[in-house]
Amino acid sequence: MWPQLMTLAYGVVASIGAHTVVAAWHGRAHRVGVRPLAGLAGGIALLAVVACASTLTGDATTLRVLATIGILPQGGLIASYAVLVWTIGNPSWSTRWRIALLSIEPVVATALAATDGWHHLFFGPVAMNPLGVWVVQVGPLYWLHLMFLYFLTIWSTLHFGLADPAAPQKKKRKLGWMTAIALPPIVVNFLALEVVPLGVELTLIGMASTVVVLRVVLDRQSFDLRPVAREQVIDELSDYFCLVDRAGYVRDFNRAARQLLDGLDPELTRRHDIRIEEFGLGVQPDPERDTTTLVEDASGLGIDLEIRLIVLRDRAGACVGWALLSRDVTASHRQQRSLRRQLETIEALRAELAEQAVRDPLTGLHNRRYLADVLAVRSGGAAGERNCVALLDIDHFKRVNDTWGHAVGDDVLVGVARVLADGQPPGVVVARNGGEEFVLVFPGITADEGRARVEALRARVAARTFAVDGGVLRVTFSAGVAAADGRFDADALLEGADRALYRAKDNGRNRTETASADEFAPAM
């Protein structure tokens, strides 16, 4: 009866192992650990087939051959278990060289078992166990092989499960499950060999249950430590990370965020009801879209933060919360501000140089270059668009220089320039045309209106006094006015004003004349 029951049990174990191999192989691309699980289940299936065949024969030679065949899958399944634990411990590790090392012992053990007829140290005699099944007794080398397998199983489990104090809590818990899964087959095997020596391979039944549990865990609980890896990565980020629920409460944060909150208020990290408003960052979550905000001197900590709020949604697309990612951009922001200031300074210098290029250095008025540019633009005006030009020349200016010196002459030029420029409405151009000559451009007025304005300026200049040795100096100017409607020739317009100016000088100076029709032909 016992041989039949054992045969049935081994057959069930072999079926479980084979089914697990097929299922694991089909899912190898989607789960971490399924390939070594397939190796573990395959080893159990092969060992179960060998054990099943052993219960059906009493021939000593056949039993020894089957026992020798079983050594390789026996070592292979334990090696697969070790690789499984390593893969779970760190999915990114390369296991190829470990597999190569682990394959040495099963091969050596198989060679020793195959040559047992020469040294008789691996197997003992064939005997019937208490259940009426013929079995091969084990020798001292087999015990060494078995001790190695025990050591490998326990070491690999404890090394990655308990010997890593820095492991995340979830990882410790999962590897604790692995320890609980690994120990029962070892205990069962030890009891079967030493405490209750039945001579039956009961370990296979324990290992079959291990495979079933592992498969369930891999399918549902998942030993895939990618979530744990994500936790580690997020915790190691130098950026600040917080998880905020739909109600605005902070549910989780990484190490960097904890340090930031400790600097803000140590009590915040000890509470479970922190709201995002308490950070004092001035950010408002938007349930419809992701937002990015730059906060300068965040919460008075002297740092600038770039804060991004990413909307988290459920499968229906509804907002369930936000992931807050914040980066310290103090250094880069300061560099940007410094760069902006430098660019502004450069732009101001450029503008200043450009302005200096069109300014008369003595009087500060625009120069002839600027005047030419303005007239070139305005000369292309539309029909009916008026422009009036006045050409002014200080009377007897050479006498001022000869009598009082060039310093007084410069004072006169500056003083007259100020009178001409003061109070002018926008759009009026006042320029020094060279020497003691000035030009005013009045937009939108007739020649008569221009003459009236120049007359007012002439009266103001005549009233202006300049201090000289022994008294005061007064100067006057003569002026010529010319106007045009629409498009005009700038040179012709200036020539007309110049002729009117010379007529004013011929008529006694200190007066304003308007260009006549024969002195100026404005149309182009």
Q: Residue-wise pLDDT tens for the chain (524 aa)? A: 556 776 777 777 778 778 777 776 665 544 556 677 777 778 878 887 888 888 777 788 888 898 898 888 888 888 887 887 776 665 545 556 777 888 888 899 999 999 998 988 998 888 877 767 778 888 899 889 888 888 887 777 776 555 444 444 445 555 555 555 656 666 666 665 544 444 445 666 666 666 666 666 555 544 444 455 556 677 777 788 888 888 888 888 888 888 877 776 777 767 767 787 777 777 788 888 998 888 777 666 667 788 889 999 988 888 989 998 888 877 877 788 788 888 888 888 888 888 888 899 999 999 999 999 999 988 887 666 889 999 999 999 999 999 999 999 999 999 999 999 998 999 999 999 989 999 999 999 999 999 999 999 999 999 999 999 888 999 999 999 999 987 888 999 999 999 999 999 999 999 999 998 676 655 44
Strand partners, 466: 473
Question: pTM for the full model?
Answer: 0.42
Question: What is the distance between the alpha carbons of residues 213 and 209, in angstroms, rounded to a whole number?
Answer: 6
Q: What angle do CA 41, 194, 60 make, to 5 degrees?
A: 70
Where does the chain hold its CATH 1.20.1070.10 domain(s)? 2-227
Which pLDDT belongs to residue 168?
A: 47
CATH class entry, domain 2-227: mainly alpha
Which H or E run includes 291?
strand 291-295
Fold adopted by 368-514 = Alpha-Beta Plaits (3.30.70)
Question: What is the distance between the alpha carbons of residues 367 and 358, in angstroms, rounded to a whole number?
Answer: 5
Where does the chain hold its CATH 3.30.70.270 domain(s)? 368-514
Strand partners, 136: 126
* Superfamily (CATH) of domain 237-332: PAS domain (3.30.450.20)
Q: What are the tokens at 200?
A: 């039956």
Buried b (16+ CB within 10 A) or exposed e, 473-497: bebbbbbbbbbbebebbbebbbbbb
Report DSSP letters for 447-466, one per residue: HHHHHHHHHHHHHHHHH-EE
Which pLDDT belongs to residue 160?
A: 58
Which pLDDT belongs to residue 182?
A: 58
Which pLDDT belongs to residue 225?
A: 44
Q: Which of 234, 267, 271, 266 is nearest to 253 (CA)?
A: 234
Q: In what order do the strands lie in the sheet with 291-295?
A: 250-253, 240-245, 319-328, 305-313, 291-295
Which pLDDT belongs to residue 24?
A: 67
Q: What angle do CA 21, 149, 205 make, to 5 degrees?
A: 50
What lies within 8 Å, CB to CB, of 148 at 6+ separation is: 105
